[in-house]
Chains A and B, each alone.
Chain A
Amino acid sequence: MVFPARDASASPDPHEQHLDTDIQSIRAEIRTLQRRKRFLTSSLLSSDSIQKFIRKPPPTLLLSSTSIADEVSPLVRAAGKHSDSNHHRIAFGTTAFPFKDPGSVGSSSLLGVRIDVCVRGGRFAKPYYVLLKSERVKGEKERRLRVYRHTVPAFIDIARVEGVYLSFPGSGKSQSQEGDSDDEAENSEALKGARKSGRRQDLRGFVRELRRELVAWHLRSDAIELLREKLGLSEEEAQIDPAERLSPEARGGIVALAATAVEARYVRLEWEDGRVGRFKLSNGGIVERAVVIGDDGRDKQMEDAMTGGGGRVETLLERLRERGAVAA
């Protein structure tokens, strides 16, 4: 009974093991290099100069009947197409695409909207998608769009945005948003003052509001991450210049700073002397409201420093430091 167990747990020849790890690391390196190669080839293929060269018929071939574009490999053309759509995605931030719902019986086609949001460090967040379905209005001939599926986080009330900009007669009662029907009515009055059912759908407005909300969320969480990096609280690799990081003395005794929830609307602060604070971030990156409470009640000075001076969240720590210097 003892022996097989030992055998199983006993380590093989250390030399072999060493070779195994070597092989593994070499394989990993090969894969990395292969990926890099693929990356570079596609960058090269989609690069501006190559694409321009291919599109422009060179003078030597002017006489021949086929242009070079017909001869180049489909790879180059695919790369060109891809870089075109990437340019659109970068420049406009919102792009539309057709999508065929594989699940529906009558194979209905959907309108997809892709929203790209640029975040800190020159990167893009995972794209957000909204898929819209065109449905016939009951008793009428016209077809209207309706949000079918989406990947927008739950704290953005997409149903309400839809209710205002993509109003659909009869929705709000039969659908899952009973509570919002009043709201929708009010919003619609305020926005258009038109009849509820006959209002035109405003897809642009819908996408604009949705995108604004998504961008604002990313900006808020990026700003909080920036503050955390300045305070040296971030676990992740810092993206800021090390010179910008505050020395422990300059941190003003702040020992914790974090968003209270994924939505990153409220931020909680903690000082080493036991004071705790909380502030609300607006979509524009302004500290709207702030509360700081210590052992002897509210710290109004600190609160003023947080909301005062324009209230930009990025410069919050500098304001707090100045205030600290004045107080001392």
Chain B
Amino acid sequence: MARAKTLRAPTTASLPNNLRIPSTTPSLAKSLGKHSRQALLDLALLWLDDRNITFFPPYLQSNARNDTNDEETLPYPAAETIEDIRQAYIDLQDRKGAKREVLERILEGDWRHGITLRQLAMADLRYMDDHPSSLRWTALELSRIDARQKKSIDTPMPDWSTSIPRAQAATFVRALQQEISPLVKAHFHLSRSSTLPLTFLRIFILDTPYQTPRQTPEVFADSSRVIYVAFPDSCPFIYTSVSTSTGSKAAPSTSSVATDPRSLQRLVRDAVPKALSRPHERYTLKATALAAKSLPTLLALRGPGRTTAANGAFSIFADAAVEGSPLDPRPSNTVSAEEHMRVDSKVVSTEDDKENEDAINGWGTASKRQKTGGDGTGDGHLSPTSKKRRLATYSRFGTTGGSHVPAPLDRLDIRLLDAPSSDGGDAATAALPTISLTFTGSDVIGGIRKLAELGVIDPERMPSWMTGEEAVSMAVVRGGKRMKSSA
């Protein structure tokens, strides 16, 4: 809090990494309190790591000497060296105890002089790693506006690469800062996901032009002021945690100067494609009608891999579940889908040790799968009708919604524009009823698949949006087909 005396002047710089939030802020304690004990210990040790220690040094005795505060009244005496503090957290790790003692030690002991913005960002990203479905992500497509490239046409080998914006992290953040600095003060934190092929950008926004804002410290831990943008590798999509789907022209806020977190979020979101653009290479964001809580789902449906444009019935192609490698002498129909997917191209070397392991590991899932049904092989004890239904379900869903490729949708919104009595034809009649359907659950498509397997839904007649084939979480349906323009 010694910063209060510094000169305040509007600047265009971003909020500094080392801006400290007073440790006594209640919302800070609450925000850190979300973490598990283990996560807090990991974070503390990460902050004390040699690479990070200079950014947010802990409170040591050398600091205490300059401090006028009465040392005796505080529960945690200041440590001599950083090594002591590290040891203290390692000791905490070794014995069991409440989360509270770790939290108190962090806030009232080693970082009593404040938690920096960067520390808070690291804590939030750790929380996201621990709770992968804590946020709802919207997938957006990056597309070129002026695709007027002269190159690659005359050359004998044209370049068919998708134009994916390439940017160095620091350059991108600086460009983004330039875009939003007149309106928003922000703190940026970039980090690579530890489990997924993604890079996260956490943006904390504040509506002030000053470097050392005078807002109450409460706002710094306000989660509505935080935006996440995730950049998946090698594909023209980005995912954001901003829910307003196509907000850029949601008019009425233009009259009043928008300072609420929502409109600030929108400003930032609109700035992202501009920051990714370069001269002669402009990008814009397009909605893709997909939002989900699970990032693996987004990666499967709007990601770099094979599954982006082949889902539902076509997932058998994405997973290569029907045919093996051309070197596999076994006729395709004698090999189960699991084996195709698992073995991939290793079939040639059957005596590999690896293969053995695979067999052991894979067997559990394979046998489980046969019990729950799905591929229609090896269930001789079933009645012919349910066997037929199972095959039909498999042909409609492929591997979607099964246990192998989990890409759960937690919500599916459908608007049906067809009249309930399937006349068709007289679509011109004025008042067509629209029916909105919303499915929610931990895995909507998987649930529909279960229903089809049980015979509740006729797998042969159900429309394809129920099988996850369209790979969207919201759709407008007319005549059993998703309307692409309204997506």
Given the interface contacts A42-B330, A102-B395, A176-B484, does A157 sit within 8 Å of B149 by beta carbon?
A: no
What's the least CB distance linking A172 to chain B, in Å? 11
Binds A, one of B81-89, B150-158, B210-218: B150-158
Given the interface contacts A32-B359, A42-B331, A153-B304, does A104 sit within 8 Å of B464 by beta carbon?
A: yes
Partner of A126, one of B320, B332, B463: B320
By DSSP majority rule, is chain B's interface helix, strand, loop, or mixed?
loop
Tell me if A68 counts as interface (CB < 8 A to partner B).
no
On whether the beta carbons of A161 and B160 are closer than 8 Å, the reply is: yes
On whether the beta carbons of A183 and B317 are closer than 8 Å, the reply is: no
Contact with B along A117-132 (1 / 0, CB 8 A): 0010011111111010
- Tell me which residues across on chain B come within 8 A of A123, comparing CB atoms: 325, 327, 345-346, 348
What's the least CB distance linking B421 to chain A, in Å? 17
On whether the beta carbons of B327 and A155 are closer than 8 Å, the reply is: no
Given the interface contacts A155-B164, A262-B233, does A124 sit within 8 Å of B306 by beta carbon?
A: no
Interface size on A, residues (CB 8 A): 74
On whether the beta carbons of B327 and A86 are closer than 8 Å, the reply is: yes
On whether the beta carbons of B309 and A152 are closer than 8 Å, the reply is: yes
Tell me if A43 counts as interface (CB < 8 A to partner B).
yes
Binds B, one of A2-10, A77-85, A223-231, A296-304: A77-85
On whether the beta carbons of B310 and A129 are closer than 8 Å, the reply is: yes
- Tell me which residues across on chain A come within 8 A of B359, comparing CB atoms: 28, 31-32, 35
With A and B bound together, what is the CA distance between A258 and B146 in angstroms?
32
On whether the beta carbons of A180 and B330 are closer than 8 Å, the reply is: no
Contact with A along B373-389 (1 / 0, CB 8 A): 00000000000000000
On whether the beta carbons of B147 and A154 are closer than 8 Å, the reply is: no
Partner of B234, one of A35, A153, A209: A153
Tell me if B303 counts as interface (CB < 8 A to partner A).
yes
With A and B bound together, what is the CA distance between A103 and B459 in angstroms?
10
On whether the beta carbons of A39 and B351 are closer than 8 Å, the reply is: no
Partner of B326, one of A38, A104, A124, A209: A124
On whether the beta carbons of A28 and B346 are closer than 8 Å, the reply is: no
Q: Which residue of B lies closest to A80 (CB)?
A: B331
Interface residues of B in 247-261 (CB under 8 A from A): none
- Tell me which residues across on chain A come within 8 A of B4, comparing CB atoms: none
Tell me if B65 counts as interface (CB < 8 A to partner A).
no
| Candidate in A119, A151, A187 with the most chain B CB atoms within 10 angstroms | A151
- Tell me which residues across on chain A come within 8 A of B313, comparing CB atoms: 101-103
With A and B bound together, what is the CA distance between A149 and B350 in angstroms?
33
Interface residues of A in 139-160 (CB under 8 A from B): 149-158, 160
On whether the beta carbons of B331 and A155 are closer than 8 Å, the reply is: no
Given the interface contacts A129-B310, A283-B157, does A36 sit within 8 Å of B334 by beta carbon?
A: no
Q: Which residue of A lies closest to B479 (CB)?
A: A105
- Tell me which residues across on chain B come within 8 A of A36, comparing CB atoms: 350-351
Tell me if B144 counts as interface (CB < 8 A to partner A).
yes
On whether the beta carbons of B464 and A156 are closer than 8 Å, the reply is: no
- Tell me which residues across on chain A come within 8 A of B485, comparing CB atoms: 174
Contact with B along A39-50 (1 / 0, CB 8 A): 100110110000
On whether the beta carbons of A154 and B331 are closer than 8 Å, the reply is: no
With A and B bound together, what is the CA distance between A214 and B453 in angstroms?
37
Q: Which residue of A lies closest to B163 (CB)?
A: A157
- Tell me which residues across on chain A come within 8 A of B308, comparing CB atoms: 154
With A and B bound together, what is the CA distance between A160 and B162 in angstroms?
9
On whether the beta carbons of A28 and B360 are closer than 8 Å, the reply is: yes
Q: Which residue of B lies closest to A263 (CB)?
A: B234
On whether the beta carbons of A82 and B235 are closer than 8 Å, the reply is: no
Given the interface contacts A154-B304, A161-B160, does A35 sit within 8 Å of B350 by beta carbon?
A: yes
Interface size on B, residues (CB 8 A): 73
With A and B bound together, what is the CA distance between A116 and B320 in angstroms?
11
Given the interface contacts A261-B233, A265-B161, does A151 sit within 8 Å of B355 by beta carbon?
A: no
Given the interface contacts A28-B356, A151-B318, A160-B160, does A261 sit within 8 Å of B329 by beta carbon?
A: no
- Tell me which residues across on chain B come within 8 A of A29, comparing CB atoms: 356
Tell me if B197 counts as interface (CB < 8 A to partner A).
yes
Tell me if A213 counts as interface (CB < 8 A to partner B).
yes
Contact with A along B301-327 (1 / 0, CB 8 A): 001111111101110011010010111
Tell me if B182 counts as interface (CB < 8 A to partner A).
no
On whether the beta carbons of B147 and A262 are closer than 8 Å, the reply is: no
What's the least CB distance linking B350 to chain A, in Å? 5
Interface residues of B in 325-346 (CB under 8 A from A): 325-334, 344-346
Partner of B317, one of A116, A149, A283: A149
Tell me if A250 counts as interface (CB < 8 A to partner B).
no
Tell me if B145 counts as interface (CB < 8 A to partner A).
yes
Given the interface contacts A32-B355, A123-B345, A129-B317, does A89 sit within 8 Å of B234 by beta carbon?
A: no
Interface residues of B in 140-187 (CB under 8 A from A): 143-150, 153-154, 157-164, 166
- Tell me which residues across on chain B come within 8 A of A78, comparing CB atoms: 331, 333
Tell me if B236 counts as interface (CB < 8 A to partner A).
yes
On whether the beta carbons of A103 and B396 are closer than 8 Å, the reply is: yes
Tell me if A293 counts as interface (CB < 8 A to partner B).
no
Tell me if A182 counts as interface (CB < 8 A to partner B).
yes
On whether the beta carbons of A156 and B161 are closer than 8 Å, the reply is: yes
Tell me if B467 counts as interface (CB < 8 A to partner A).
yes
- Given known contacts A78-B331, A151-B307, what 20 new A-B pairs fall within 8 Å (CB)? A32-B356, A36-B350, A42-B329, A42-B330, A79-B329, A82-B329, A86-B328, A149-B310, A149-B317, A150-B310, A151-B309, A151-B317, A154-B303, A154-B305, A158-B160, A174-B485, A178-B143, A186-B148, A209-B160, A262-B197
